[in-house]
Amino acid sequence: MRLIHSMGTIAEQPQAGSAPGGGESGGLGGHAGRPRLVKIAVVGASGVGKTALVVRFLTKRFIGDYERNAGNLYSRQIEIDGEMLAIQVQDTPGIQIHGQSLECNEQLNRCIRWADAVVIVFSITDYKSYELLSHFHQHIRQLHPGNRVPVVVVANKADLLHVKEVEPQHGLQLASMLGCTFYEVSVSENYKEVFSAFHSLCKDVSKQQSVSTPEKRRTSLIPRPKSPNMQDLKRRFKQALSAKVRTVTSV
Ligand SMILES: Nc1nc2c(ncn2[C@@H]2O[C@H](COP(=O)(O)OP(=O)(O)OP(=O)(O)O)[C@@H](O)[C@H]2O)c(=O)[nH]1
């Protein structure tokens, strides 16, 4: 796992396709010899386990200590279904909840716009984090108008059933109503489910990219004008010359 930079510096990073705010997606098909780039933003309320999830996915380890996070961008190459992918994961600062509305700052908006796919995390021990789910989903759709970026909903802290505030089936129902894939995980106890969530997201991105790529391929298949045929040019030049000679001799 490689830490690229913290979110504080992201706004000043103009690298195309590699950092939030960096403009066009670098994810389309990758360049020759380079793995395809998949950019994922992880969003959710504060304390739901976003950082723990990202670190678990990238290192297989669980971090137990809590430190409010400013938002880091991590990268790692992973082979998924035989294809090497360069995955960038943007951990974002937790949204503080005031009432039920979502107040995203510009940094977070930039991260969402930058992403090819988004993971929305809530905690089954925090009902308010669950209530934010549909707000986040709507916000993501608004920031990607006309482009259905794949979204996965992750219900975390499944090991804390004794203090749960959200029934797992409610998470599942809401996620399917929003058209998102749903995973219930315990980042602290389980790596497999965490990997599956990111795996399915990467597959969705791949699918979406291959849908948009044929258009690009088709345009690149339009025959380019041929370079002039030298034999043909010589022949036409000779013809023109002899016509001129004929005109001159006939005068
Ligand atoms: N029991 C349990 N604790 C978890 C789990 N996932 C995360 N935690 C703990 O929950 C706390 C918050 O986790 P973080 O990953 O820092 O949460 P965050 O969403 O990044 O928080 P912010 O930085 O405030 O946005 C930490 O103490 C984690 O160890 C889990 O699956 N089970």
- Reported ipTM: the value is 0.99
- Per residue in 86-138, pLDDT (tens digit) is 999 999 988 876 666 677 788 899 999 999 999 999 999 999 999 999 999 99
Alpha carbons 197 and 124: distance in angstroms, whole number = 17
Alpha carbons 103 and 116: distance in angstroms, whole number = 22
Give whole-number Cα distances, 43 to 122, 155, 176, in Å.
Answer: 9, 12, 18
Residue 242 CA from chain centroid, whole number: 65
- What would the mean pLDDT of 68-73 be, rounded to a whole number? 78
Nearest CA to ligand 1 atom 14: 49
Ligand 1 center to 6 CA (angstroms): 18
Place of tokens 């005109």: 247
Ligand 1 center to 187 CA (angstroms): 8
- Per residue in 137-166, pLDDT (tens digit) is 999 999 999 878 999 999 999 999 999 999
The answer to whether the CB of 126 falls within 8 A of the CB of 34 is no
The answer to whether the CB of 198 falls within 8 A of the CB of 191 is no
Ligand 1, CB within 6 Å, residue ranges: 44, 46-52, 64, 66, 68-69, 93-94, 156-157, 159-160, 186-188
